[in-house]
Amino acid sequence: MVNSNEQQNYRMKAFGDTGTKFRLERRSPAYWRVTFDIPPVNIFGPKNLPELNEIVTSIETDEQVKVVVFDSAIEGFFITHYNFLAKPEDEPNLPPGRTGLQPLPDMLARLSRASVVSIALIRGRATGVGSELALASDMRFASREKAILSQWEVGAGLVPGGGPMARLPRLIGRGRALEVLLGADDIPGDLAELYGYVNRALPDAELDSFVEALAKRIASFDKQAITETKRLVDIASLPTDAEIVPEWGAFIASVGRPASQTRLKALMERGFHRAGDVENRLGYYVGQVGAS
C-alpha cells in the first residue's frame, strides 16, 4: 500500500491498478502525505478499514516521521459519511484494536495519541467519518470557500459513532457542539473557524502553501521535543477510550432502527451514495426526509 516514490505528484488522480484508496506518499522521511481517493465522492466504508489501519500503524511505528498531512484527491470531498451500501462480507476480519475500541474509533484514537503531528487539510466535504478523522487529527485547516464540515447523522436518525460527542465539546464548547451534532447541518469554512471546529479557514488559493510550509517547518523540528510536548497536551485534552466506547455501539444500534432506515431509504431515492446534489448538499436533504 505504501508508495515510496517521493517524486510522485500527490495531486495525481489516477492511482492505476493498485486498488489503493489512501495513498501514502513520503515527501521526506519526516513528512508524509496521505491522500484519500475513493471515487466518486470519498465515501468511507468497512472495505477501507484495513488500509487506514495500515497507515495508522505505519505512523505509530516509523521512527523518522514527524508530521503527516491528510488530504483528498477527489474534487469536492475530503472524506464523507460511512458507506451504508456495504455488505456484511465487506467487514474486515481485523484483530481487536489496541485501545479495546471497535476498529474505526480505535484507529482514530491511536492517531490522536501517536507521536506524530497529524494535520487535516480540508477541501470539500468532511462529513461523518471525514469530520471524525479531522477531529482525531491534531490540527485542521480548511478552505474558506470549499470546505464543509458536518456531523449529519442525527438528521438521518443515526447517532454518530466515531468520537465526535467526546471530541467536539472539548474543542468548541458544549453549545456549539450540540448545534453541530443536533442541528446536523453543513458548516462552511468560515463558521467552522469561528466555532473552532477548524484551527483556521484560509482562502482556497493559500491553503496548500500554508499547510505545506507548516508541515515542512514541523518536520525540521526535533522529534523528541514534539513527542514529549504532545504527550503533555494529551493529558488535559484527549477523551479517555472509555468515554468513546459507547459511541460506536450507539451508531450500529441506530442503523437498525426504523427511524434511520426510513430516512436512509428516502435519501437513497434522491441520490444518496452517488455523485450529485444529495451528496453535495447533505445538510439540506436530511432536513427534508423527516419533515412532515
Binders of a copy of itself in range 127-166 (CB under 8 A): 138-140, 153-155, 157-160, 165-166
How far is Cα 109 from Cα 103, in angstroms, rounded to an integer? 10
Residue at 192: amino acid letter: A
Q: 62-82 b/e with 16+ CB inside 10 Å = b?
A: beebbbbbbbbbbebbbbbbb
How far is Cα 151 from Cα 132, in angstroms, rounded to an integer? 8
Which element (helix H / strand E) includes 177?
helix 174-178
Say if residues 162 and 247 touch (Cβ distance below 8 Å): yes
Which one from 25, 153, 193, 247 is the annotated catalytic residue? 153
Q: Is 74 in the site for a copy of itself (CB under 8 A)?
A: no
Q: Which is nearer to a copy of itself, 45 or 161 (CB)?
A: 161
Active-site residue, 91 included: no
Q: Which is nearer to a copy of itself, 209 or 237 (CB)?
A: 237
**Binders of a copy of itself in range 272-291 (CB under 8 A):** 287, 290-291
Helix 49-61 with 103-113: angle, nearest 10 deg? 20
Q: How far is CA 28 from CA 2, 73, 121, 267, in A?
A: 14, 20, 18, 43
Our measurement of the distance from residue 28's CA atom to the centroid of its chain's CA atoms, rounded to an integer in Å, reads: 23
Q: Is 254 in the site for a copy of itself (CB under 8 A)?
A: yes
Q: Which is nearer to a copy of itself, 48 or 99 (CB)?
A: 99
Active-site residue, 153 included: yes
The secondary structure of 44-67 as a DSSP string is B-GGGHHHHHHHHHHHHH-SS--E
Which x/- pattern over 75-114 shows residues binding a copy of itself (rule: CB under 8 A)? ----------------------------------------
Q: Is 292 in the site for a copy of itself (CB under 8 A)?
A: yes
Q: Is 220 in the site for a copy of itself (CB under 8 A)?
A: yes
**Binders of a copy of itself in range 42-71 (CB under 8 A):** none
Residue 50 CB, nearest approach to a copy of itself (Å) = 28
Say if residues 66 and 221 touch (Cβ distance below 8 Å): yes
Q: Is 218 in the site for a copy of itself (CB under 8 A)?
A: yes
Which one from 25, 132, 247, 279 is the annotated catalytic residue? 132
**Binders of a copy of itself in range 162-191 (CB under 8 A):** 165-166, 168-179, 181-185, 191
- Find, among 104, 155, 110, 154, the residue nearest to 130 by Cα: 104
The region of 5-13, 32-40, 97-105, 220-228 touching a copy of itself under the rule CB under 8 A is 220-228
Q: How far is CA 163 from CA 36, 82, 135, 170, in A?
A: 20, 14, 8, 11
The region of 46-54, 103-111, 229-237, 269-277 touching a copy of itself under the rule CB under 8 A is 229-237
The region of 13-21, 74-82, 237-245, 270-278 touching a copy of itself under the rule CB under 8 A is 237-245
Q: Is 230 in the site for a copy of itself (CB under 8 A)?
A: yes
* Catalytic (active-site) positions: 132, 153
